Structures are given as structure tokens and as C-alpha cells.
A = this chain, B = another copy of it.
């Protein structure tokens, strides 16, 4: 029995203009302590899928099972890093990171310490008392990241958490994430656009095609850990990169073709 099982999920959005099928028949499983990357084109439904797994949106059909139990609402076992940060504008950085901890049984001091720890981890020391509107985009994203990490959830759902980061911060964050993951062994579902990032991080890459969003390929990544820059020089790496690339390309042209037919 897998730890997380996503079963036949579909989702149709109703808009004023039409019914938009966003996800179609998505099924996959995740083992405990696995690192999974979700990759796919813009608009293929990655965020929607993450929101369904987190229990924020109901799927039109299908269900999500965690430890064999159907789950349809958020819980402390899952932590989400939002694509659009979703910071509370009226709280400074510290308050935003503490936010997720406030429903847990812990002393104020402990909470503050934990928050400061993760603020340090994402490199925002000194900005604890800045409001989101005073931060750059990348800094805001790191606040969202710290907030999710701080609750130390079993399952981390990360929606393009490094999307607004610069290359170097990004690399630092990747390494940091790997380190945390290797120590505390969370189960991670990580959405990204970046093929190299996906391969670098994950045990398995789930490739999605679009219109409607569906799984077009699932690739196991067996490179030994810990991984580093040299990964790129391995023969298997370029090959794998090419495979994902091609799958995505195919899916896109298929989608275009089917859109043209409509």
C-alpha cells in the first residue's frame, strides 16, 4: 500500500464561457519519504492538482488517499508552499512564518525560535520586521517557503517554490531542501518548470501534458544521492533531460492539434 495515492482525479472548472476540463484522470502514488517532481507546461493544472491533494479544492471525480485513508481537507500532515506566496499583508515576515505554528501546541518562545530558525534558513535574517510589501518578489517567496517548512509537515507540497529565486539563492535553497529532506525524510511533491531542477531533486518525475491536464510520463530518477553539480556531466542526465523535453514537446503539440480540431 502506497503512502499517498492519487486516484482517478479529474477536475472541470465552470466559467461563464465554457466548461474547462483542467485535469483528467490523474492517478499516481507516492511512497513515504520519496521526493516527487511534477513538471508540465504553464496552465496544465499542476497548481490545481496540488490544491486538490492539500484538500483545498474538491476534485470533480476521484479521490486522494493518505495512509490508505480518503483525505479531503487540509491537515497538519501536509504543508503547502503557494505559487503566489499568499502572505498576510498585515503581518511582518516573522508573523507570517509564525502563522502556521500558531495552531500547534507550543510555547511562544519555542514558536519564535522555530520561526527564526527557518527565516535564517531561507536567508532572510534581518528582515524579520519587514512587511511583505517591502520585500522583493524572491524574498516574499522565501517567506512562504519558511512558513511551510516551519510546521515540519510529513508531506510538503511545493508549488514552484523557487520560481522567483535567482540562480544562486535557488541553488542554495535546493541544497538546503535536500539536506532537510535527507535528515527529516519528508515526502515531497514539488512543482517546477525546470527540467534540470526536477531531475536534480527527485526520485521520480511526473510529467504532465495539457488541455486537459493529464499524466504523460513517469520517470524514475535513480542517480545516487547526495547529488551535486557534477550530476550534469553524467551520461544518463542528458539523456533523461532529453526524454522529459521530448515528452513535454509532444504533449504540447498534441494539445495544439486537439485545440485546433475543436
Contact surface of A with B, Cβ cutoff 8 Å: 13, 15, 17, 39-44, 47, 83-84, 125-126, 129-130, 134-139, 141-142, 160, 163-170, 193-195, 245, 248-249, 252, 259
Q: Which residues of B contact A259 (CB under 8 A)?
A: 125-126
Chain B residues with CB under 8 Å of A163's CB are 137, 163-164
- Contact indicator A166/B193 (Cβ below 8 Å): yes
Count the copies.
2
- Residues on B with C-beta less than 8 A from A168 are 41, 245, 248-249, 252
Residues of chain B within 8 A of A134, CB atoms compared: 13, 15
Q: Which residues of B contact A17 (CB under 8 A)?
A: 129-130
Q: A17-B129, A47-B136, A160-B137 are in contact. Are A41 and B169 (CB under 8 A)?
A: yes
CB proximity of A182 to chain B, nearest CB, Å: 23
The answer to whether A165 touches B193, judged by C-beta atoms less than 8 angstroms apart, is yes
Cβ contact within 8 Å between B169 and A42: yes
| In contact, A164 and B42 (Cβ under 8 angstroms) | yes
Bound-state CA distance A248–B252 (Å) is 35
